Amino acid sequence: MADVRDIMELDRPGTPEITRETILGTDKPKKKFTPGTKISKRPEGMHREVFALLYNDNKDVPPLFPSDTGGNGYKQTKIKLGMRRPRKWEWMAFTNPARSDNATFYHWRRPSDDAKEYPFAKFNKKVDVPTYTDVEYQQHLTSDTWTKEETDHLMDLAQQFDLRFIIIADRYDTQKFSKRSVEDLKERYYKINGILAKLNGEKKIYTYDADHERRRKEQLKKLYDRTPEQIEEEQFLISELKKIEARKKERERKTQDLQKLISQADIQNDTPRKTDKKIPKKKLSNPRPSRVDTSYILQAVETAGIKFPDYKNSGVSLRSQRMKLPANIGQKKSKAIEQSLQEMGLELNPTATEDICQHFNELRSDMVLLMEIKSALETCEYDLQSLRHQYEALAPGKTLIIPAQLTNSEQENKINTGEIIDVVGSPGTPLNT
Amino acid sequence: MSGGMLYGGDEIGALVFDPGHHSLRVGYAQEDTPKAEIPAVVGVAPDEAIKLEAESKPDDSNVSSQSQHKYYIDTTFLHTPRVNMELHSYMKDGMIENWDMFEKILDYSYDKIIQSESHYHPVLFSESPWNQRQKRERLTELMFEKYKVPAFFLVKNAVLAAFATGRATALVIDSGATHTSAVPVLDGYVISNAVVKSPLGGDYLILRAREMLEQMGIDLTPAALIASKDVVRDKDKPRFVKKKLSFQPSNSWMTYMVKKTVQDFQQSVLQVSESQYDERVVSNIPSVHYEFPTGYHQDFGTERFKLAEGLFDHAMLGAGYIAATSAGMCDVDIRPALYSSVVLTGGNSLVQGFSDRLSRDLSVRTPSSARLKMIAANGSVERRFGSWVGGSILAAIGTFQQMWMSMQEYQESGKSQIDRKCP
C-alpha cells in the first residue's frame, strides 16, 4: 500500500485507514504515524527507487561500524511455528460407506480424523429409477411394442447408467431385443415413470413428447448434414434477401420523398416561391461543410425565408390565419420582423385581403432572407479575414491583398442582396420593395 | 484427509497398468508418469541355453510347466542378441492374446518395478474400447486369483485419455502402434457403437519407411550388432564392423531390432505436411539429416512427407476421416460437445505435424456451425502415456474409491460381475 502511494506520489494518510476496528470503535487509539520523522521530500528528477535506497524508515544514519544489537547478534531467531508437536499421519484402513461391500482400503490419514465418515461418500448420488411389481406391470404398464423382459432390461440399464439414454441406447442388448432409438427408450421410460408416479398419487407428472424430439433431431441432422455447397447457397440467398430488402426500403423512402416534394410543390404553387423544389430535402441535412466551403451558406440563403403553411386543405379558415408566422420562426426573427415593419411604417396586422395577404407574407419572407444573407455575409467575411491571418502567419512578410469586390462594403452588400434576391425570387412576382 | 477435500484426491496406493501394442505402462496412481514402460514383446528362449543373465529370469517356480523356457522382458534384455531367442508379442488387435506371456510381464512388473506385493495394491487396468467380455473376465480372474489384488477396475483407455485432459466428454483420437481409433466418450462412457478404427498406426509407418529405406539400399543393421563404425561422408558406403556372434540371431529378433531402428528414423525424420501432399510445396521445406546405426547418413527431403502422408491420404482410413465418421455415428445432440473437445493421444500422434493436419482435415468435415477444438498435450510423455495418466488421476480420486470391484465382491459374485461394475 505504502509503495503504491509512493508510486502515485501521494502523501501518507494522516488518519489511519478504516478497518473493522475503527468502524466498530473497539480499537484503541492508534499511535500516530511516526510523528517524529520528517518526511523529506524527494529531490526533483531523482527516481523513486533510488530515493528509497537512500534512506531507511526512521531516517537514521546507518551505523558506521557493526554494532551488536544484543541477544542473538546477527543470528536470526528461529521462527517458532507453534509449540505443539506435529500431528501424525498414518497409513490406515478405511471403509467407504458409499460401498455396499465394506471393502477396506488404506490411505494416509490423521488419526484424529478417525471418527469421521469417509468424506467422499456424500458425493455418492444415485438417480431414482422407479420400480414396479409384476402385478403393477400387468395392470398398468403393458404395451404392444414392449415385452416385460425388454422393459426390465431398459429399467436395469437406466439404473446402471443413471438415465444417460444415449449410453443406454448404445449398450442396449441388440441380440435379444430389436434396436431402439434414444427417443423410443425415453418415451417408454418416461411413460412408465409417469404411470407409476400417478399410481403413487404424485401431482406433478412429466410427459415426454417423443414425436417432437424425433422431428427436432431430424431437423438437426439435416442442419448438420448440409454440404458446403448448400451452406454457401444458403449464405448467398440470405445476402440476396438482405439486398432485396434494402432496395425495397430505399424505394419506399424515395416514394415518400417524392410525395413530400409533390405536396411541397403544391404549396409553392400557391405561394410564388418555388426555389425550394430545386434543392431536394436530402441536401438540407448537408454534411458538415469545410471552413472554406461557402456553398452551405449560399444554400442556407437559398432555402431561407419563411415557409407559410398551406391552409388549402384544412377546410374553412380565416384568411388572416395565413398571415400568422409559422411556429418555426424564432423569437429573434419575429422580433426583427416586427422592428423592420415598424421602421417601414407598416401595420403589424394588416387587413387580410387576398393581395395584402400574399404580399405581406412575401415581404416578411424576404426580410428574413435579407437577415440571413447578412449574417451569411458576415460569416464569409470572418472566414476571409481569418484565412488572411492564417496566410500571413504561415508566410510571414507577405500580405494577402483581398480584392476590393470581396471586402465588405455597404454598397456592394446591397447589390449582392439584390442579385441574390433576384436569383431567388421567382418570375411572375414583382420584386419586392 | 484434511487437505484432501480441497482437490478431491484420495490416494490408496493403487497401481495403474496400461497395456498397449508398443508397451505396457506401469506405475503408481497419483504420479505423473508411469514407473516403467515395458515393451510389449517377450523374448522366449529354451532354458538349456547358457545362462547369461540370471536375474533376468523371472521367478516362475509357481508355473512348473513353463520351466523349460526362459523369458526375457524389458528393453535391456530384449536388445541383446541371444541364442534361439524368439520374440513374441502378447497383444493382438488391442487386446491381450497370450496370457502366459502377459503373466510373465505382470510378474516382472511386480518384482522389478513395483517391488511390492500385489495384494497390497488395488489395480486399475486400461483396455481397448472393443475388448471382449471373455477377455475382461479372464483378466479379472487373473488379477484376483493369481495376484490377490484387493480391488480391481477396468476402464477403456479412451476414457482415461479424455480424463487426462480433464474432460468426461470427448472425441478421443488415439493413434498408437497398430491402429488409429476414434472413440466418442460421453460422461466417461464410451459409445461403443460409434468407435471407428483404422489399421494405420505407427507400425504401418515403420513398414512403409522400411520398404523405402530398403529400396534405397540402406543397410538397416541394428546398433546391437555393430561393434564399431567409421565416420564416412554423406551418402558414402558405410564402413562398420559387425559384432562377432557365434550364432545366428532369430528372425523375430532381427525383425524387432530393425523395426526399432526404423522407428528411430521415423520419429526423428518423418513429418506430416500441412495440407494434401504436394511435391512442389514440400520440396521447399528443408531436409533433415539422419545417421543410421551403420554410420551411413544422408539428407531426407520429400521422402519425409511422402511417407507420413500415408497416415492421411487414404480415403476411408485417414485420421480425419475416421474422426468425422465416428462423430457422425453419434446422436446429433452430443455432436457439438464431441467436436468441441477432440482429444489427441497416442505415441504415433507425435509424428511432426500430425495434430495440425488432423485438425485441418477434421475442420473440412465438421459442420460449419460446430465449434471444433482440438486438445493435444504438448509434452511427449503426456501424449504417449495419455491413458496411463488418466488412470493415474482416476485411481487417486476420492469419489472413485467406491467404484472398485473388491475382492469381497469378486468372491461373492464372481468374475462376471466385471461387466456390470466396469461398463
Three-state SS at B4: helix
Longest dimension (CA), chain B: 70
Contact A110 B370 (CB under 8 A): no
Confidence at residue B67, expressed as pLDDT on a 0 to 100 scale: 56
- Last residue of a domain, which of B310, B342, B364? B310
Confidence at residue A76, expressed as pLDDT on a 0 to 100 scale: 65
- Whether residue B271 is contained in a domain is answered as yes
Name the DSSP class of B271.
B
CATH number of the CATH domain containing B266: 3.90.640.10
- Whether residue B106 is contained in a domain is answered as no
The answer to whether B411 faces chain A, any CB pair under 8 Å, is no
| Residue pLDDT, tens place only, B262-316 | 999 998 999 888 888 888 888 888 888 999 999 999 998 888 888 888 888 877 8
Total domains present in chain B: 2
Count Cα atoms within 13 angstroms, Cβ side, for B154. 29
- How many CB pairs (< 8 A) connect A and B? 102
- If you measure CA to CA, which chain B residue comes closest to A181? B331
- The structural domains of chain A, ordered by start, are 90-123 (no CATH), 134-208 (1.10.10.60), 294-310+318-406 (no CATH)
Pair type for strands B151-156 and B123-127: parallel
Pair type for strands B342-345 and B374-376: parallel
Residue burial A85-106, b: 16+ Cβ < 10 Å; e: rest: eeeeeeeeebebebbebebbbb
Contact A120 B398 (CB under 8 A): yes
**Confidence check: pLDDT of B65 > 60:** no
Read off the C-alpha cell for B12: 490408496
| Best of A94, A105, A125, A164 to mutate (most B CBs within 10 Å, chain B) | A105
- Last residue of a domain, which of B310, B332, B350? B310
Q: Is the pTM of this model over 0.80?
A: no
Read off the C-alpha cell for B264: 528411430
Confidence at residue B62, expressed as pLDDT on a 0 to 100 scale: 39
- Is residue B16 within a helix (H) or strand (E), and if so which, with residue range? strand B15-19
Contact B12 A217 (CB under 8 A): no
Q: DSSP letters of A371-400?
A: HHHHHHHHHHHHHHHHHHHHHHHHSTT--P
Confidence at residue A141, expressed as pLDDT on a 0 to 100 scale: 85
Whole-number Å distance between alpha carbons of A315 and A320:
14
- Whether residue B164 is contained in a domain is answered as no
Read off the C-alpha cell for A42: 524527494
- Whether residue B244 is contained in a domain is answered as yes
Confidence at residue A253, expressed as pLDDT on a 0 to 100 scale: 92
The answer to whether A89 faces chain B, any CB pair under 8 Å, is no
- Whether residue B226 is contained in a domain is answered as yes
Kindly give, in sequence order, each residue whose CB lies less than 8 Å from that of residue B169, ignoring residues fewer than 6 positions away.
B162, B185, B186, B187, B334, B337, B338, B341
Classify the complex by whether its ipTM is higher than 0.95, answering yes or no: no
Å from A226 to nearest chain B CA?
8
Whole-number Å distance between alpha carbons of A169 and B329:
13
- Is residue A191 within a helix (H) or strand (E), and if so which, with residue range? helix A182-199
Contact B12 A107 (CB under 8 A): yes
Query: Is the distance from CB of B300 to CB of B167 less than 8 angstroms?
Result: no
- Whether residue B153 is contained in a domain is answered as no
- Whether residue B73 is contained in a domain is answered as yes
What is the full per-residue pLDDT of chain A (433 aa) written as tens digits?
556 766 776 665 554 455 555 455 554 444 444 444 455 677 777 787 777 776 556 666 666 776 666 555 566 666 777 777 888 888 888 888 888 888 889 988 888 877 778 888 888 888 888 888 888 888 888 888 888 889 999 999 999 899 999 999 998 888 888 888 899 899 999 988 888 888 888 888 888 888 999 999 999 888 888 888 888 898 999 999 999 999 999 999 998 888 888 888 777 766 554 444 444 444 444 444 444 455 555 555 555 567 776 665 556 777 777 777 777 777 888 888 888 888 888 888 888 888 888 888 888 888 888 888 888 889 988 998 888 888 888 887 777 777 767 665 544 444 444 444 444 444 444 444 4
Contact A107 B2 (CB under 8 A): no
Q: DSSP letters of A312-351?
A: TTS-S--GGGGGSPPTTS-HHHHHHHHHHHHHHT--SS--
For residue B299, the enclosing domain spans 202-310
Contact B193 A170 (CB under 8 A): yes
- Last residue of a domain, which of B283, B310, B337? B310
Pair type for strands B15-19 and B123-127: parallel
The answer to whether A88 faces chain B, any CB pair under 8 Å, is no
